[in-house]
Structure formats: C-alpha cells, structure tokens
Amino acid sequence: MNKSSIRTRLILLMLIATVIPIVISMIVTYFYTTRSVGTKLIQENANLIYQGKTNVQAYMDTLNRNSLSLYNDPGVLLMLRRNVHDYTNEAQTYTLLQNLTHSVDGIYQIYFYMAKARRSTLLIGDIPKRGYDTDNFSEPFTTGNPSSVVEPTHMSSIYGLGQSPPYYDPRPVITLHRAIYNVPTTEWLGTLSIDIKLEAIQDIADQLFNKQHERLYLLDQSGMVVYSGDSTLVGKPLSDDWTGPVLESKETRGQLEMNKSVYLYEKMDTPYMKWTLVKEIPHSYLYEGARSLTQINIIIAAVSLLLVIAATLFVTIRITAPIKKLIGTINQIQAGNLTARVDGEGRDEIGILVRRFRTMMETINNLILREYRLDIANKTNQLKALQAQINPHFMNNALQSIGTLALQHNVPRIYSLINSLAKMMRYSMNTNQEAVPLSMEIGHVKAYLELQKERFEGKFGTHFELDEAALGIMVPKMIIQPLVENYFKHGFDPKLGPGRLTVRARLEPGGTAEAGDAGPLKPGEGTGPNGAGAESGPASGAAPNNAPETRPDEDPAAMGPPSILTGGGPPARPVLFVEVEDNGRGIPEDKLAELEAGLAMMREEAGIEEEGGIGIGNVRSRLRLYFDPRASLTLENTDPHGVRITMRIPLGEDITT
C-alpha cells in the first residue's frame, strides 16, 4: 500500500479519528469506573463495619450493665457481707445467676464467688455446681481492676470446681469478669464472671463480610484474635504486616491499603475492653464489579471498533476507487495514449471531476490537432517574416549606385553609411540562409551600430570581446541585433553621460552547466574576429571611406573553429555564451521580474519590443527552436546602471552546427 496515497491517508485519518477516541474512552472509563466503584464499595463497607462495631459494643455494654444488677439487690449484698451458710442464701444466689443467664442471649455459664464465705457457684444453663471453701478462680482478671474486664476468647472451664459433669460441653467463650466491692468502700466482696458463647459475636460478624472473598478480625489491644472467619486463628495472637499499623493508629476508624488489599477498621474503646474490628477486602474482589463492567464496555467498544474499521475501509475504498481509476487513465495519457477512455458516472464531486477531465481531454486532443498544424505553419512564417522578401539584388544595386554618387561628390561618409545599410539589407533579405556563422551576425551588428552612431552623433561607444573559437558557430540570423537595438529603444539616455555598449561571445566546455553558471566576460578575455583582440570606438564593421565593402558571407572568420577538448578525454559538449551589456537606464525591478517570468513561460508578448521590431521573447523562442530546449536568455541590471542580456546556447558535439 502506497503510504502517500489519498486512500492510505484517508484510512489512517479515519482510523485515528475513531480508534484513538474509543481507546481513550475505554481507558478513562476503566480507571474512572474502577475508582468510583472502589470508592463507593469502600464507603459501603466502612459503613457496614461501623454498624457491626456498634452492634458488638451495644451487646457488650448490655452485658456489662446487667452484671451491675446485683448491686440493686440488697439481699445479695447482705449475703456477700456476711459469712452465713444456709439454704436461703443458696436459693437467692441461684435466682440471681439464673436471671442474669436469661437477661442476654448467648450466655453460656456464670461463675459467682463470695469471698467471705469462700463459696463458689457455677450456673451452666440452669444447672448449678457449687463449691465450698474454694479460692477465687478469676483472681488474675479481677485483682487490681476497679471495674469489669473482658478476657479474650478461650475454651470454657468449670472454674476449678472439681471434675466436669458428664453434660458439660467445653467451647470457645469470651468472659466478662467483674469484681464486687462493698460500696462506697473498696472492700472486695467477691467476683462475677460471665462466659459468652463465641456464636453471639459470630452472629453479628457473619453479616459483615463475604466468607469466600473477604476476611473479618476482632482483635483486642494486644493483637489477640477474639473472633475471625478463620476459626484456626481464634484465641491466638495475629502478627500480619497490617496488624501493627492498625492497632497503633490513634484514629477510631480508618482504612489501610497494603498487600493488594484494603483494610477497614473500627475501634471500640471502653473502660472494660479495647477491641478493634478489622475487615480485609482484596483488590481482586473489591474491583471485580469494575472489571466486569469494563469487560462489557471493552466487548461493546471492540464490536463498535470493528464496525468502524469496516465502515472506514468501505467508505475510503468507495471514495478513492474512482480516483485510482482516474490516475490509471492519466498514466496512460502520460505514456502517450491521449485517447484513453475516462470512465466515471458518479453524481458526487469525484464523478463531476472525472466527467470534466474527460471533456478536458477531448478539448485538448482537438486543440493539439489544430495547434500542431498551426504551430508548424507559424514557425515557418515566423522565420520567413524576419527576412524581407524584396529582391536583394535590386536593393543592393540601388544602394551601390547611391554610394558611387556620394563618392563622386566627395562625400565618403555618406558612402560608408550607405554601404553599412546595404550590408544590413543584403543580410536581412537573404532568405536562402536561416542560420549563419556568429561572425556574420557580429558583422551585421557592427553595420547597425555604424548607422546608430551617425544617428546619435557619436554619443556612445562600442566594445567587442569575441572568442575567436566562437565565431564559426552557426546561429539564427537576427539573433543579436534585436538585443543591441533594445538598448537604443529603451536604455540609451544622453543625460547619463556617454553611452557604452559591450558585446561579448565565448565558447566553454559544457558538462552540466546551466543558464547563468558562467559569469560575464571580463574585458580582454576574448579576441576579435581577426585575432587582434577586443575592439572599441566606432563600429569596426564599417568599410573604409574609399574602399569597397567586403561581403559578410566572405568573412574569413566563418572558417570552422578549432575543437574544444577537456583534459585529453572525449570532446565535451560546448556551450556558447553571448552577452550584450550597456550602461543605460536599466529596467525597474518589478518590470524585470515580470520579464523574467514571461521569458520562463516562453511568452513572446512579455518581451521589450515596439511595433515593427523583434522582441526579446522572439529571440528566446528562436533560440529554443534552433538549439536545445535548455537554451536560455536572461536579463539582469548592472551597477551603477545598465542592463546585461546573456544568451546561453548548449551545442552539439559538432560545434559548427
């Protein structure tokens, strides 16, 4: 596929315009959904954990308040203050413990110790077990504690009251120990220990997490596991990476992210217990909903993307197919098949373009047939029009007669001028030659300058710098004189001082040189037609005042020039440079740019010419007609004023043709 074709660029543009927004939308949607869903889920779980903490703390607060109910029973307090052993005391104790057992759901057993009587009572359900003359089994948890304290999860026991009864079922329990005092004094009267089934906490905790994906921990201040979804951890210290930061945090609630999980925690800070409820939510579960939603979005986006790509290819191929067909037809036309068929019947802009192109080619073919014939005729007529069709012998004989009469009257100057005019007439009216040696063209220019010197009373000088090797080159007739004439029509100004016109010609090896590669000739670089160097002063083409004029076609310089070789190798293709330079008014820059543009487009109407003259555009056209199309003619202003016109003529291997 061509990377620079319209089809490729259009496909890429449409794909970029559709794929990139869709992909960006998918990425943004994924991250936004993940963030928003994760934030929402975290908030919901934080609220859930807070509610769970509230429920656990409310349960424990209720249990703690119920343990204070014995202070409201004067009979119990009296029994604790006295060391009395009777049936009534035992019945009263049983009633107290039974009421406490049924005050809150989840109580497994209650232990009651009376210090003065050294009596212990353990109520398991509704079955009492008594001990006499016993020690306080709960002493490690009540000594030094002015109020209640909670013992973390442990296996239940019968508090040292002998052998366990057959009906006793040890199980994990949480115990609330309360020391009983003879208020308002600090006299210790006994101990009340309430064992709570772990299931009571479990019933609340199980509503707070998903056992398959999440984890829940209830820790005391030392990191001991009070409850966990993993029963193997209950009653053991937990030393995971997150345990320390959570327990040491001074915040009552918060969250922690580590190990690809989120840990939400709520702390319960009461006088009798300091627990922390922690919920662990793995990222994989937390963002599972976001991923599912993203996958659905990706599937939808992928299907949409495939549809967009298919539509893009269809549209671009549909649009560019006529263009590619048109390009194929243009290639056939470029190869020379101007009658190649241009098909296209679409009603859109491309169809209009194809139909207009077909109409244009039909018009061009008709114009080519007509203009080709006209061009051949015009070129022939153009060359013929440059040469007068009057009989040259009649004009020459008439001018010779007038010149002889001038000599008879002793006016040699008139004879010289008439002789120059005769040379010009013979040169211009000789239709047998369309191309002449450069030396003959130079002779014609000198004759023309001789007449102009008389016209302008010698207010200008001429200078010729001619390479002898260039004088034999065949050039079109009337190719230099129009350039010289241009000076007198547009550039000559006596106010600027004495005029000066320089004509240079040189022959150089060709190679890859283009127009303007070589600079202007320097004075003294060329030689005159007779090998005597440059000429200056009056036009040297004029005949002596008392001698007959030499015919231009008999100029000895018309002999072929020597060969131009380059370093002993095969002959190079030489280039002829002809320059006409003056010190006249010059050309305004805007006009000069217009002339250069006109010459570049071979527009003869852009030349500097007057009615009846031969313009610069005509000269350039004839250069390209006679020589290689790379032949060129350039104009440039000189300092301080003036114009330099340079002709560059690439020649063939035979430099005389």
Condensed to tens digits (0 to 9), the pLDDT of residues 546-586 reads: 333 433 343 433 334 433 333 344 456 789 999 999 998 88
Residue 522 belongs to a domain: no
What residue type is 475 in one-letter code? V
Q: Give the type of residue at 14.
A: M
In terms of Cα–Cα distance, which of 148, 157, 169 is closest to 61? 148
CATH number at residue 121: 3.30.450.20
Domain membership of residue 431 (yes or no) is: no
pLDDT band with cut points at 50, 70 and 90 for residue 7: low
What is the average per-residue pLDDT within 573-601? Answer: 84
Q: Which of 341-355, 520-534, 570-584, 601-615 has the highest mean pLDDT?
A: 570-584
Please report the pLDDT score of residue 254 as a whole number. 92
Query: Hey, which of 261-270, 381-390, 522-531, 532-541 has the most confident mean pLDDT?
Result: 261-270
Looking at residue 557, its pLDDT comes to 38
Q: Is residue 529 in some structural domain?
A: no
Determine the distance from the C-alpha atom of residue 163 to the mean position of all C-alpha atoms in its chain, rounded to a whole number.
88
Closest CA to 595 of 475, 483, 462: 483
Same domain, 311 and 362: no
Based on the domain organization, do 200 and 301 belong to the same domain?
A: yes
Please check whether residue 479 is in contact with residue 649, taking contact to mean a CB–CB distance below 8 angstroms.
no
Verify that 101 and 229 share a domain, yes or no. Answer: yes
Mean pLDDT of the 487-511 span: 86
Mean pLDDT over 506-532 rounds to 47
Tell me how many domains the chain contains.
3
Residues with Cβ < 8 Å from 265, sequence gap 6 or more?
Answer: 49, 246, 249, 253, 254, 255, 256, 276, 277, 278, 279
Taking each helix axis from N to C end, the angle separating 6-67 and 198-205, rounded to the nearest 10 degrees, works out to 150
Looking at residue 431, what is its pLDDT?
57
Average pLDDT rounded to a whole number, residues 123-137: 87
- The answer to whether residue 536 sits within a structural domain is no
Shared domain check, 285 and 147: yes
Q: Which residue has the higher pLDDT, 221 or 343?
A: 221
pLDDT digits (tens, 9 = 90+) for 167-185: 788 999 999 999 888 888 8
**Inside any domain, residue 275:** yes
Q: Is the peptide bond before 271 cis (omega within 30 degrees of 0)?
A: no
- The mean pLDDT of 448-464, rounded to a whole number, is 85
**Domain with 463 in it: what CATH number?**
3.30.565.10
Q: Are residues 141 and 285 in the same domain?
A: yes
More confident residue, 302 or 536: 302
What is the three-class DSSP state of 264?
strand
Confidence of residue 107 (pLDDT cuts 50, 70, 90): very high
The predicted pLDDT at position 37 comes to 75
Q: How many CA atoms lie within 13 A of 25 on its CB side?
A: 13
Residue 642 contacts residue 583 (beta carbons within 8 Å): yes
Q: Is the pLDDT of residue 380 over 70?
A: no
Q: How many residues does the chain have?
A: 657
Where in the sequence is the domain holding 20, given as residue range(s)? 1-334
Identify the pLDDT of residue 4: 64
Based on the domain organization, do 350 and 268 belong to the same domain? no
Residues 499 and 479: their CA atoms lie apart, in Å, by 22
- Residue 625, domain member (yes or no): yes
Strand partners, 269: 274
**41 lies in the same domain as 142:** yes
Could you tell me if 241 and 349 lie in one domain? no
> pLDDT band at 502, cuts 50/70/90?
very high
Query: Of the candidates 486, 626, 649, 635, which has an alpha carbon nearest to the alpha carbon of residue 577?
Result: 649
pLDDT band at 378 (very low <50, low <70, confident <90, very high): low
Residue 628, pLDDT > 60, answer yes
The DSSP H or E segment spanning 128 is: strand 127-132
Question: How would residue 537 be classed by pLDDT, with cut points 50, 70 and 90?
Answer: very low
Q: State which amino acid sits at residue 10.
A: L
pLDDT digits (tens, 9 = 90+) for 20-78: 887 787 788 777 777 777 788 888 899 999 999 999 999 999 999 998 888 888 888 88
With respect to residue 24, please indicate whether it lies within any of the assigned structural domains.
Answer: yes
Statement to judge: residues 172 and 250 lie in one domain: yes
Q: Give the mean model confidence (pLDDT) for residues 432-441.
A: 84
Bridge partner residues of 636 (DSSP): 644
Q: Are residues 89 and 152 in the same domain?
A: yes
pLDDT-derived band at 266, boundaries 50, 70, 90: very high
